[in-house]
Each structure stands twice: as structure tokens, then as C-alpha cells.
Structure 1
């Protein structure tokens, strides 16, 4: 019975697609320069988060003990969800164990053909996260993909299906985690309104970094006459773990009754939720950290371009170095690691064919000397 799995692993090795957990020792880790982390605001070890997590654990326990519909609900969730909805400018919010779980549970529940009365049409950016793809696959709906961030092509597709009476959904990230570019949000809101489409936004990489107070791009536009939800995570800029959906009260009630990942999962640890709540509160105070991150991102972007490296349309703290060839990406990752620099190597199927890249992720803890060190190593290789 194990042989099919062994055979599959052999195929992956032969194609150089085999994944391994990184073996990174602790002895000299402090001296390494890490450009692989999603801890954009450097909060994962913040003393206030540790203190808030321990206080929550003392009051409610380390484990939630059950799903929120059974034994795992407490006042902490209620307060945190109220704060999320207030800062995201929605009527309500609902917390999940992870961002992946939130996407796969929320989107598949919203796309349920039995509830909608017909099989919906899902207009879908080709570079959306794997969790969003999995949600659509689970729903067995009509997936209509459009070229990355190409709203002109999206409108052509919406117009093509304009007379189709099936429910329509547009699904996109607001800051694309593998490409580092931003969704033209105002324009896509107008398209959703024009064609009567439901708008599903994933703000995993935007919250903490973008928006006037750091609560994402969705807080910068008015969703007048547009039905929408916003999904996010506590595992990136907030330095914790967990996910959430911000929506109206009807959809929150619906998800409590329909989203399998919420109904049948033990609730998140009170320790983690206490820490995440504190991180969420801190976000609005971290103006200097966001300014530092933005400034450093612009400097690195310009230096990469000056060095003749391709970064696509990236214009944020996530900067892909597009090398196309998988073998070259893996070799360069190893060379950087041997020089004490950690970057992420991203290959298909995570990204489209012939678009393998090194993903450089900046945080507010980085300084200009750090990006200079990275560029020095890259220049030696080129």
C-alpha cells in the first residue's frame, strides 16, 4: 500500500520537485540575515504579545478545549472580533485557526451551489494563493481565471458572461504574496458593482503594512452597493497565528452554521488569541515601522533594478527576483545560505511555469546595510 506514495516521491526527486524541511541549526542563527520571514513588523517576539498571551492563558487556559459551538467559546473572541470588525469597517468578524483554514472554509461555504440555487461563476486571479484554489476545487464551481492583475481582461470576461444568470464571484488578493504587487482595488470594486459580482478579498499580506492605520487596503475604499468579505491572518505582520473573516452579520451567522473548518475544529488557543489581539491593537501605533519598511523596500527595489535583476511589477516589501529556471533558483538559494543569508526559493506549482524566483521579504527590523549585504552576494553570483 505504501508503494504508490514511494513512487510519487521518486518522481518528485527525479523532477527536482521534492520538498524538504530546512535544516537550520540554532548555534549561529543570530548571525544569519533572514529575508524569508513574513514577520513584517517584527512582532513575533514582542514582550507585550508574550505578556498578553500568558495573561489570556492564565484566565482561559492554554487550550480552548473544544470547538466554539461546544466548549471553546469565551469573551476574548467576542471582544477581538468586535475590534476587527471596527477596524476593517464591517458589521462583524469571525476568527479561524489559520488563514488557510479561513480561506478554504469561508470561500467554499460561500460558493455552495445548493445554497445559491445554481453553480456560481468564479472569476479568479491566476496568482491567487493555494488556499483559494483549494476552496474553489472543493466547491466544484466554474473557475474562470484571468491574467494576474489584468482588470481589462477581467472586464472582458465579466462582459462575456454578463447575461448569464448564475451568481458571480471575483476572488483576489489585495497584496499578492508571491509577486509583491498590489490589486487596483478601487477599479475592481467598480467592476464588482457594474456586473453585480460578489467580491472576495484576501488581505493576508496587507494587514499590518498597508492602509492609513495599517489595517489593509480594504479600509481605503467604499464598498457602496457591493457585496463583499475580507479574509486575513494573524500569522504575518502580526507575528502570531490564526485567521479571520470580516463581513456583515448575515454572512457571519451563515458561516457559523456552514463553514466546516469553523464548526468542526477546536477553537484557537487562548494564548495565541490573546497575543494576536495585542498585536492587532499595536498595529495602529506602528507608523514609524511602516514608514521604515516602505523606505527600505523602495531602496531595495531600485538597487535590484540597477543590478539588472527582474522583479516583475513588485512595489512593496515583498520583492521577487525572477530567475525562471528552477535549478538556478535552488543553486542561488544554497549559495546565499552558505553566506549566512536566508531567502525563500519559490517554484511551480506555487508560481506559474517558467517563473521560479527568490522571494525577498523585508521586515521593519532590516536596515540598509542588510540589503547591501544581500546585493553584494548577488552581484558576485551574477
Structure 2
């Protein structure tokens, strides 16, 4: 059997950590892996991706307490990275009132790799159409009248999970911790809260319109209107674009967690990693388990083969679980202890492909072609 060195990598898994960006590469069999990095060494990498339609191009959000906040761009599939002159920010200076953190970067609607969206703290959504050279604020969100109801969660006021609707180029979703889910139906000019049905016992109102602490949101590419979210209390599904949410937590060992992943070919398949509670943010019972549902959350199965099941008290953050979209589906799991696991059979079995990295903040997997490798 040829070694990975004799074949061209087909999968790139971008692993953002507390001390730089690592990239794991493999062919489409996903049996053997090469790890490169750290790129952008010393920076926290909150988000990084290669564009799914042009994986030579990609972006990374980097933060350092001394060197500041930067956006990096690659044009060779992640082999090298260049810092850009501008960052998305509310004002002309670098004070925390202008920019405290870039929590998320995501491709904008369409296939143009120069179309980038960013979610930042203080809460804001920004767009670049020139590959990150300049940024435009989406003032309909940034100046939203609900803004006084938004407040920092334990990790900060994170505007995360930027999700264009694959069936409607004008529809955008964003999730915020703590603020909730917002939807725009006109390309980002106007936004409305989309939190009906979400439990929020930490808020004073019984059914508040906003202020929810949403940990992760995924809009599904295979079924119009379908999306999943992990909230501070419960995992939810919607089939009407977020107008109403139904809780599907029954069968899980906890209603708390962060990470989600979907199978882009099957709308009813959802993966999550439950954690003990808000008070003890670590894997339930010290066991690293990924849970899968094949029926949109009505039933759940614990996936444990190849994952450690004793004395594993780690956290998997909101971007710490990702899928590659291949058939069979590949899944990638990163922990706060710096361990990276991969599955090449839709989660039925796992292998550790890297260990003792810095704490893992984000994972993004993409299929690449020869030109990006």
C-alpha cells in the first residue's frame, strides 16, 4: 500500500489552538496523517478555514495579548500565511471598544473566496468582498435595538456561527453568546431575533425574545429550513428557518455542551458532545463520547470506540467538532487538552491523530484538490 508521502493529500483539517494553527493532511482513505505547524505561532486561533470552492484560499483569525488581533490569509492551501493590514472593527483605533476579539470567520454567500464574513466582540458582524483588505459593518445587526439585552457569557460576548442559508443567498444567520440567534432575509441589512422555543431559565422572562446563550448553530445544506443549535440548556432543531425551535435533548446524558456537526448529505444526522453542566464544563462522567442521532434528535447513540473512557475531564469547544462531507463521513474532534481524534466511518470508530498540542479552539475540515495541495 502506498504511503501518504507517495500520494497527494485530499483532506486538510485546520486546527486552531491557543498557540498557533496546525494542519493535519491525509488522502481520502484517511488512515495516515501528516501534521504541519504551528503556523502563526504564538497566537490564539479562534477560527480558520480554507474556502470549500477554492481551497487554495483561506483565512485565520489570530489573537495575542501583546501583538494584537490580526486576520491572516493563505493562497497556497495553508502552506504559508500572510497577515492582512486591516481587521473588522467598530472604530478607527485598536481599543477594546473597537475590537476585543474576532470570534468567527466564514465564507460569505456564493462561491467567491474573497467574500468573507466576521463576527467580533464588541458584538458586530462585518463583511469583506476583497479578501480581507477592507471590511464593511452590517449596521442593521451592529446597531440593533436589542443590543442592550446582549451580555457577555463566561468566555466573552461571542458573535459566532455565521451561517449563510445555502437555499437563499439573501438569508443569513448568526448566533451569539449571550444574545441568541438572529436572521436576516435581505443580505444583512435588517435582522430579527429567532429564538422561539428555546429554554432560558437564567433570564427573568419566561419566553424572552432575545438574550439567549446559544453555544453553536448549524444551518443544514441538504434541507431548506433545517438547522440545529446547542444552547446553554438543550439541543434544538428547526424546520422553518429558526422561527420555531423544538428541543431534542432527551436521550443525552446532559443538556449542556458546545460542539455540533452534521452530515451535509443527510439532514437528519446530527452529532454532539455533551458536557456535565455549566458549573463543571467537562465531559460527562469523565468519558469522551460523541453522540449521534440519525433521526433529527429523536434517538441518540453514544460513539465511544477508540475514544478514552476513563478519567477524561476535558472540554470540547463550540468549534471543536467538524465533518469533512466525504462518503463515508469523516469527523474530527479536538479537546482542551490538545488531543485530536478522527473518524473515517461516520463516528463508529476513532483514532487519535495528534496529541499534546496546545488547547484546541477550532477545527475546520475541507476536501482539497491537487491545486490546493
- Per the normalisation by structure 2, the TM-score is 0.26
The structure whose residues are more often helix, as a share, is 1
- Per the normalisation by structure 1, the TM-score is 0.25
Say which structure, 1 or 2, has more relative contact order (CA 8 Å, 6+ apart): 1
